[in-house]
A and B are shown apart, each in its own frame.
Chain A
Amino acid sequence: NAGVTQTPKFRVLKTGQSMTLLCAQDMNHEYMYWYRQDPGMGLRLIHYSVGEGTTAKGEVPDGYNVSRLKKQNFLLGLESAAPSQTSVYFCASSYPITGELFFGEGSRLTVL
């Protein structure tokens, strides 16, 4: 099992460009999450999903959109990238209730 897979792992964008980060999990987890990790800020929740076809806002949702069309996939979109969105993005998935999240390896995004 691959677990949680994120693509791409690295990306450089110019301000105003758009892009999509893809997260795929093969553990049949109901819940999926997108976090961003910034120095001195820890991990902050962007959006999450409790099941196929559902999404919800987290702590820092502005500037991002998400979709969960299939249970195994959770997409994070940036419609118009800004330098403030330079970060490492982590996808995670879990079964309900347990509190144990399984993380991907991260995607490093730089916005110039």
Chain B
Amino acid sequence: AQRVTQPEKLLSVFKGAPVELKCNYSYSGSPELFWYVQYSRQRLQLLLRHISRESIKGFTADLNKGETSFHLKKPFAQEEDSAMYYCALLLTGGGNKLTFGTGTQLKVEL
């Protein structure tokens, strides 16, 4: 079965501390993974995708096929990073469908 697991519902860190949001997936083929973010009172939006291997707002995510993980990392958390983060897996079978994890609420404290 194709599944995305985000084990942490809430992650609280202090400003300036490193952040790691965990994401594990279950998929039999070659996965395409994404991180989406929802800031307070804003729309859910794409943060980054693994195929582009880019850093967005200081966040990076590396696909580890051996551990079936796609953890989101940032070396120094900022207050504006507080948001809900969703890991998502592109499903096979056409339609560009995404299956989402349950989300992790990141809270950056001063």
> Cβ of B9 < 8 Å from any Cβ of A?
yes
Q: Which of A9-17, A39-47, A76-84 makes up part of the contact surface?
A: A39-47
Among A49-101, those with CB < 8 Å from B are 50, 56, 58-59, 90, 92, 94-101
Q: Are A103 and B96 in contact (CB-based, < 8 A)?
A: no
Asked if B46 contacts A105 (CB within 8 A), the reply is no
B99 touches A98 (CB 8 A): no
Known: A40-B9, A90-B44. A101 touches B102 (CB 8 A): no
Residue of B nearest to A104 (CB): B43
Interfacial chain B residues near A96, Cβ < 8 Å: 96
Which chain B residues in 6-58 approach chain A with CB under 8 Å?
6, 9, 32, 34, 36, 43-46, 49
Give the distance to chain B from A9, nearest Cβ to Cβ, in Å.
12
Query: Which 9 A-B residue pairs are closest in the complex by CB-CB distance?
Result: A42-B102, A43-B100, A103-B44, A42-B100, A103-B43, A100-B46, A99-B90, A31-B96, A50-B95
